[in-house]
Structure 1
Amino acid sequence: MLQKITLVSLLLQCKAILAVSDSSPSEQVKILHTDVAVIGGGASGTYGAVRLREDFNLSVVVIEPRDHLGGHTSTYIEPITNTPIDYGVQSYIVTKAAVDFFARFNISTPPFSAKRLTPLNVDVESGAELRNYVSPSNNATTEALRKWLTIIEKYESWIEPGYWDFPAPQDIPAELLLPIEEFVEQNGLEAALPRIITISGIGYGGIRNLLTFNLMQSFGPSLTRQFLAGELLRPVGSNSVLYQRALALLGSDVLLSSSVQSVERTKFGAVLSVKQGSQEYQIKAKRILFTAGPSLANLAPFALDEKEKSVFDEWAISGEWIGIASIPCLPENTSISFLPNSIEPSDQLALRDYPYQLRLDSTGPNGLGLFRVILGANTTVTADEVKKLTEENVARLQSAGTVNGTCKVDFKAESDHTRPLWIGISKDEMEDGFVQALYALQGYRSMWYSGASFAAPYSSTVWSYTDTVLPKLVADLKDIAEN
């Protein structure tokens, strides 16, 4: 039966349409007021937000593009056995910040014990085993790392937990600005390189011409000391538990799956336009704590001025992806490294002399053929490119007869760990005051920074560095309140 249309019903429909049309954008945008807008919910962002709210009694809003907190912490739950497999962050340096942060969430932290795997080094171009390559012995590695520690310990206060006390350009010791190749050969440190490279991920595409200071950033005194002493820690359960509990604590102060669209910044504060799905927010913040990777792309909404752009526009962005894949034709309990054949017989400096490097580490549980996939490149790569490169390299293993049988690569999980770092900054730029220019941005135009680009790139050192930033940020807030 057709509904009878009357003049009254038409007028009511028109009124409803006009009411919707007349609703202003401001009525659909949620307005939030906060002391600090935290950009990024990785290690430094999560830590900073928890401490600002819980210890400094400040309001926060965390803006995180992923659907979870944790940054480079990635965990895959194997569905058959319900086993958590950490394929991102593996362990933690023991610092007061780290110990206190885990204790805050009642997480036990026993010593880290790496799974013992049989190494298999293969030619990245052919898939054949590099039978003539001789890797350093454990004793030689330990001796070289001790020598490395003796050299870098004298610079510890300059680089940990941050670069606040880094010397003026004219006072930088010459050896810190030597190319790594020259420094390593002068000091007989070749045997330390495989371990440093494997743990730090430095130098995709080649390490020879990077500065010695870059090597010190990537594998500094605290990490070297605790690695040698076997003192690294790992939380019970999985590395993601910490961030799950932090999210439960922070609750609605976290906007997951959100992104910053634009920002208006002055010395008095900032107004951020943020989108989360179809919901838009206008966040009025007194200060910003920026903890995401400071690439020009990530910083584009923040209306950088020339002072800021001049610091960030030369940063190198190397691609790094981590994942879990089922590759059942590969031998379990092995670590397969795809390397340039120029390393034979024992050129440790050549380990990174290729545009990308792939490593496949057996993870267990036994019988499932699961491997942690680590692929780094000297340029950015997509998830599809990572999967294709992995499949091609596994196929070459099969063609070369390095492994028996054939199988497909089935990715179960993957995570993009690409980030901008100032590794690759030249000697001239360091002598022109790059470090000082970078740190001069702290607090500039209402924005403070933390994260791996401002400190040694490990969770524990980033947390310790954040502890040096937060009191300065809080003092800044008090200044604007008083003025």
Structure 2
Amino acid sequence: MNFGDFVEKYNFTDALPLMFSTTGLGMGNMVNKMTMPVMQAFGAQMARLMVGTQNSFSTSSGRNQDLYDAIADFLGEKVYYNTRAISSTRSDDGVSVTVRNVVSGQETVINAKKLLIAIEPVATKLAAFDLDEHEEEVFSKFHFAREYTAIVSNPSLPTNYSTGLNIEAFSEHGPMHDSVSVEDLQAGFIQDLLGLQGMRSTWYTGAAFSSNYQTILWQYNEVLLPQLLAA
């Protein structure tokens, strides 16, 4: 069922502007999308949050960067800044990841018992992680939307007059709002995706495995990380 039919069936048309303005950005025409990815972006938890019946996790300061700063303070010298993974070897016995500092060019080999990947599972970003044929097959079924942000300055215009926009800043959010076809879902895609957890000493988190709503994602991580440590 596409989302437009779902909205009509359950009569919540009035909620569409709120859904689009909060999590629907980047999805395109929401009513023509399959219901499942829309509900992943704006699910029951998000609805309860918006009407004030559920709490959410956030930094006490209201500044998201504080979370990353606190993690960096906790990890100390174990954090590699300005660094990109360029190759890796993964097996059931552990992982070895080679990273390169994009400023100095210095390369470092990191050996670990387990690897946690938290980036979008797109081919360009996973190229350094030695995917096998099964992993490539599963991840190749994802389709991602794109979201762009721009700051535009333009004077008020009289009726029936137009001019070019002045774009002051432009940024791409990157891949988001993952989805797969109905056929792939029916063929067991979700089971195949979750079955990757722990394979070749590698675990995954992020919106593609949970939600792009941070409250749900953090709760997901609280379940996932103990499993990773216990494996």
Alignment partner of 1:318: what SS?
A: strand
Alignment partner of 1:422: what SS?
A: strand
RMSD: 2.6
The aligned runs of 1:125-136 (5 Å cut-off) are none
Residues 307-350 of structure 1, C-alpha deviations (whole Å, 9 max, x = no match): 11111112112221335x372736xxxxxxxxxxxxxxxxxxxx
User: 1:418 is matched with which residue?
Assistant: 174
Instruction: Go from structure 1 to structure 2 and tell me whether the alpha carbon gap of 1:181 and 1:326 turns closer, same or farther (over 3 Å shift).
Output: closer
User: 1:247 is matched with which residue?
Assistant: 72
**TM-superposed deviation, 1:234:** 6.4
**TM-superposed deviation, 1:427:** 1.8
2:189 alignment partner, one of 426, 430, 434:
434
Residues 174-210 of structure 1, C-alpha deviations (whole Å, 9 max, x = no match): xxxx211221111222211111111112563323342
**Is the 1:319–1:418 contact (alpha carbons within 8 Å) kept by the matching residues of 2?**
yes
1:260 alignment partner, one of 74, 79, 85:
85
User: 2:135 is matched with which residue?
Assistant: 308
The aligned runs of 1:197-212 (5 Å cut-off) are 197-201=20-24, 204-212=27-35
| Alignment pair present for 1:285 and 2:112 | yes
Alignment partner of 1:442: what SS?
A: coil
**Is the 1:294–1:420 contact (alpha carbons within 8 Å) kept by the matching residues of 2?**
no
**TM-superposed deviation, 1:296:** 1.3
Q: Distance in 2 between matches of 1:398 and 1:271?
A: 62
User: 1:327 is matched with which residue?
Assistant: 153
Q: Distance in 2 between matches of 1:310 and 1:406?
A: 44
Q: Distance in 2 between matches of 1:328 and 1:252?
A: 47
Residue identity opposite 1:271 in structure 2:
S
**Is the 2:37–2:177 contact (alpha carbons within 8 Å) kept by the matching residues of 1?**
no
| Alignment pair present for 1:184 and 2:7 | yes
1:444 alignment partner, one of 190, 195, 199:
199
The aligned runs of 1:103-142 (5 Å cut-off) are none
Residue identity opposite 2:225 in structure 1:
L
**Is the 2:3–2:32 contact (alpha carbons within 8 Å) kept by the matching residues of 1?**
yes
Q: Distance in 2 between matches of 1:313 and 1:282?
A: 28
Residues 65-84 of structure 1, C-alpha deviations (whole Å, 9 max, x = no match): xxxxxxxxxxxxxxxxxxxx
1:213 alignment partner, one of 12, 36, 44:
36
TM-score (norm 1): 0.43
**Is the 2:25–2:147 contact (alpha carbons within 8 Å) kept by the matching residues of 1?**
no
Aligned residues: 227
Residue identity opposite 2:189 in structure 1:
F
**TM-superposed deviation, 1:246:** 2.6
Q: Distance in 2 between matches of 1:299 and 1:317?
A: 15
TM-score (norm 2): 0.87
User: 1:110 is matched with which residue?
Assistant: none
Instruction: Go from structure 1 to structure 2 and tell me whether the alpha carbon gap of 1:315 and 1:237 turns closer, same or farther (over 3 Å shift).
Output: closer
The aligned runs of 1:30-429 (5 Å cut-off) are 178-201=1-24, 204-229=27-52, 235-236=60-61, 238-277=63-102, 278-322=105-149, 325=151, 327=153, 329=155, 400-401=160-161, 408-411=166-169, 415-423=171-179, 425-429=180-184
**TM-superposed deviation, 1:448:** 0.1
Q: Distance in 2 between matches of 1:242 and 1:266?
A: 32
Residue identity opposite 2:175 in structure 1:
R
Alignment partner of 1:229: what SS?
A: coil
Residue identity opposite 2:122 in structure 1:
S
Return 194-203 or 267-276, whichever deviates more.
194-203
**Is the 2:147–2:176 contact (alpha carbons within 8 Å) kept by the matching residues of 1?**
no
Alignment partner of 1:242: what SS?
A: helix
Q: Distance in 2 between matches of 1:407 and 1:441?
A: 46
**Is the 2:118–2:206 contact (alpha carbons within 8 Å) kept by the matching residues of 1?**
yes
**Is the 1:270–1:288 contact (alpha carbons within 8 Å) kept by the matching residues of 2?**
yes
Instruction: Go from structure 1 to structure 2 and tell me whether the alpha carbon gap of 1:304 and 1:407 turns closer, same or farther (over 3 Å shift).
Output: closer
Q: Distance in 2 between matches of 1:398 and 1:463?
A: 49
Q: Distance in 2 between matches of 1:283 and 1:399?
A: 62
The alignment-based identity, stated in percent, is 30
Q: Where does structure 1 lack aligned partners over 5 or more consecutive residues? A: 1-177, 331-396, 477-483
Q: Distance in 1 between matches of 2:31 and 2:164?
A: 37
Alignment partner of 2:114: what SS?
A: strand
Residue identity opposite 1:246 in structure 2:
I
Q: Distance in 2 between matches of 1:205 and 1:416?
A: 15
